[in-house]
Amino acid sequence: MTLDNAFARVSDFEPVREELIETRRYLHAHPELSFQEAETAKYVADKLEGWGFDVTRNVGGHGVVARLTAGTSTKGVAIRADIDALPIQEETGVDYASLTPGKMHACGHDGHTTMLLGAAQYLARTKRFDGTVTLIFQPAEEAGVGSGAQAMIADGLFERFPFDAIFGLHNHPGAPAGNWLMRSGPMMAAADTVKITITGKGGHASRPHLTVDPIVIACNLVVSMQSIVARNIDPTQTAVITVGVIKAGETSNVIPNTATLSLSVRSFEPGIRKILETRIRKLSTAVAEGHDATCVVDYLHGYPVVVNSETETEFARSVAEELVGTDKVSTCHLIPGSEDFSYYLEHKPGSFLRLGNGLDSQILHSSKYNFNDESLTVGAAMWARLTERFLS
């Protein structure tokens, strides 16, 4: 038996292509937001139980963990898919569009879930591996804080369902469907959110000398913050500070008492993450005090950096190259978006992969985004083959 025939191939999933598309489109039409994924979790768990998996429901909320053992090895591998949707009004115009106003799968989690279900069905039927595969269907990836990964870990994921390494993926708009992108080390950014409240002294717009204008201070601070990355971070490194919100005042002839700024801060190294926080805090205080105002900085740490381990990433690369050919596997650039898969990687070795969603795909979180069904068989085959190879 050749290496190609010994493990799962994309062609093995052609007979179930339409079934995968039907599953994905059902999930697309029935989106549920973070922490509300009860029906999605039930749909997933029922399928897995029907295929013979040992299924545990309600792990860290609506999380589902399914395990299947074959052979005698104690080795284990885990694969994770996210199941939640976003609070966006869909504008795709497809006939399987969201049936719930204001909610849609605008990030492709419907596709991620379907691909892992496809692999699960195949693995349950063939059982061509030696060890235990753990499939994690995670809620609340989009939560930003207190996410599904954190909740499942706190609920004893690693202790209750032991495994040696973990893998996951996200679709990648702008890359050809069926192509894989991988990267060892830092890959996706840490994402922190900052709210800065500046308190001055309000008054009449015609008498600014009797006030301490928080809007002027806020504008000064926005401009001053542009120097943090430019003059504090090594030019060979990457960091982002974006002021997304400025709020102050209600009318043109009144200087308000307060102004608030909301920032998104992205970084790829723990040391740089710390520098950014330190400089934002110091600069905010200094600018406010320099204008006889005060400020309060609420710094909320979001998801940490996704750091892929080298061994597992190279293993995944070899599996992908076997599956689709070397010309369809490339190195991924740094991605300033964030992912709570990072929490798993703080505890276990593993790798987070990207799967092309098409050159003309709408961007993630767009009301017109749609997962590319052409990737379903490739993704399912990847997870099946990776499991067989890891547990061979």
Residue 39 maps to which CATH number?
3.40.630.10
Residue with tokens 């699960």: 120
Helix (H, G, I), strand (E, B) or coil at 180: strand
Are 289 and 376 found together in one domain?
no
**83 and 119 part of one domain:** yes
Cα separation, 357 vs 170, whole angstroms: 9
Q: Please say whether the beta carbons of 324 and 378 come within 8 A.
A: yes
pLDDT at 4: 62
Q: How far apart are the first and last CA of the chain?
A: 14
Domain match, 228 and 145 both: no
Q: Are residues 58 and 206 in the same domain?
A: no
Is 179 found in the same domain as 31?
Answer: yes
Residue 3, pLDDT score: 56
**What span, in angstroms and rounded, lies between the C-alpha atoms of 256 and 284?**
19
**What tokens does 85 get?**
């949707």
Two tokens, residue 311 = 């061994």
**Helices of type H across the chain:** 3-6, 17-29, 38-50, 109-126, 148-154, 157-160, 214-232, 270-290, 310-324, 341-345, 376-390
Q: Report the relative pairing of strands 165-172 and 76-82 from DSSP bridges.
A: parallel
Which CATH number belongs to the domain containing residue 221 in this structure? 3.30.70.360
pTM value is: 0.93
Nearest CA to 302 out of 190, 196, 195 is that of: 190
| The pair of three-digit structure tokens given for residue 249, joined into one six-digit string | 């005042």
Task: Indicate the SS3 state at residue 317.
Answer: helix
What positions carry a catalytic annotation? 84, 141
Q: Domain end: 279, 301, 323, which one?
A: 301
Hey, how many other C-beta atoms are within 10 angstroms of the C-beta on 12?
A: 16
Q: Could you say which of 234, 269, 301 is where a domain stops?
A: 301
Q: For residues 113 and 179, state if they share a domain.
A: yes
Asked whether residue 292 falls in the same domain as residue 353, the answer is: no
pLDDT of 145 reads 84
180 and 36 together in one domain: yes
C-alpha pair distances (Å), 206 with each of 199, 211, 212, 253: 20, 10, 13, 7
Question: What pLDDT shows up at residue 1?
Answer: 44
Token representation of residue 207: 């008498």
Q: What number of residues does the chain have?
A: 392
Q: Do residues 313 and 255 both lie within one domain?
A: no
Closest of 166, 157, 142 to residue 302, by C-alpha = 142
Residues 60 and 155 in one domain: yes
- Whether residues 43 and 137 fall in one domain: yes
Q: Which two tokens stand for residue 224?
A: 């001053």
What are φ and ψ of residue 83, in 5° steps?
A: -125, -5
Question: Per the structure, how many domains does the chain have?
Answer: 2
For residue 211, the enclosing domain spans: 190-301
Closest Cα to residue 239, out of 270, 277, 206, 265?
Answer: 265
Structure tokens at 199: 């308190």
**Same-domain status, 110 and 212:** no
Tell which of 261, 278, 301 closes a domain: 301
Ordered mean pLDDT values, 10 residues apiece, the chain (392 residues): 76 98 98 98 98 98 98 98 98 98 98 98 98 98 93 98 98 98 97 97 98 98 96 94 97 98 96 97 98 98 96 98 98 96 98 98 98 98 98 96
**Contact criterion met (CB below 8 Å) for 75 and 8:** no
Distance CA 338, CA 374 (A): 25
